Amino acid sequence: MVGRSPSPVDLAGTSGVVRATVHDAEGIHRLVNFWAAQGQMLPRTLGETYENLRDFFVVREGEEVVACGALHITWADLAEVKSLAVREDRQSRGYGRAIVEACHEEGRALGLASLFALTYRPQFFERLGWRLADVMTLPRKVWNECYRCPKFPGCDEIALVIDLRDGAAG
Ligand SMILES: CC(C)(COP(=O)(O)OP(=O)(O)OC[C@H]1O[C@@H](n2cnc3c(N)ncnc32)[C@H](O)[C@@H]1OP(=O)(O)O)[C@@H](O)C(=O)NCCC(=O)NCCS
């Protein structure tokens, strides 16, 4: 990471970054599909949201999910940060960063070597110490979901990775 230090994250008035429960599934589903409808990420069904619920972190205000993101294990050394979404009127408060940093911590605790993401927001991830990657260098298994993406095979998402072993990730 270069340039100025990251701004402090103020999660006061929220739950902080916590693991999702079944009560969050509809809120996660709404948030992800709000951004999916704008072409910013892949849509998710409510069923998929429940099936992958244990991957998710959320930030709640009261009962409401205002930010979410998931860490999904791909293989022994790799996991994906996905379904990262912050409510439109809660952007730029550090919620996205707090969730990605929780994924870094979880990835390390799980013994993962690195994380990847496919995104239209590469600068957000770069700000958090990630680096651009050639998607073709990622294992073929990461293409698992691509086949059902409306954009397939014309993917224009940008791949980024972070090495969790080099101590750079916060
Ligand atoms: C991308 C997204 C998750 C960022 O969440 P956020 O809570 O608004 O971002 P944060 O406040 O945590 O920002 C963290 C840092 O990234 C920077 N940043 C945030 N969005 C950025 C962007 N689009 N471009 C460049 N930098 C960005 C912030 O300035 C901040 O830097 P700082 O720490 O130096 O102040 C959010 O904008 C979002 O939900 N977007 C729509 C869905 C989406 O694109 N998801 C990503 C799919 S993987």
C-beta separation of 59 from 96 below 8 A: no
Which of 41, 81, 124 to probe ligand 1 with, by most ligand atoms within 8 A of CB? 124
Q: Is the pLDDT of residue 170 over 70?
A: no
pTM: 0.92
153: confidence class by pLDDT, cuts 50, 70, 90: confident
Ligand 1 atom closest to 6 (CA): 33
The helix (H) or strand (E) run that includes residue 105 is helix 95-110
Residues 6+ apart with CB under 8 A from 3: none
Q: Is the pLDDT of residue 2 over 60?
A: no
The mean per-residue pLDDT over the stretch 85-91 comes to: 97
Assess whether the C-beta atom of 94 lies below 6 angstroms from ligand 1: yes
Report which of residues 148 and 65 the model is more confident about.
65
What percentage of the chain carries pLDDT values higher than 90?
75
Nearest CA to ligand 1 atom 42: 85
Residues 6+ apart with CB under 8 A from 66: 14, 31, 59, 60, 86, 87, 90, 95
What is the pLDDT, as a whole number, of residue 159?
Answer: 94
CATH code of the domain made up of 17-163: 3.40.630.30
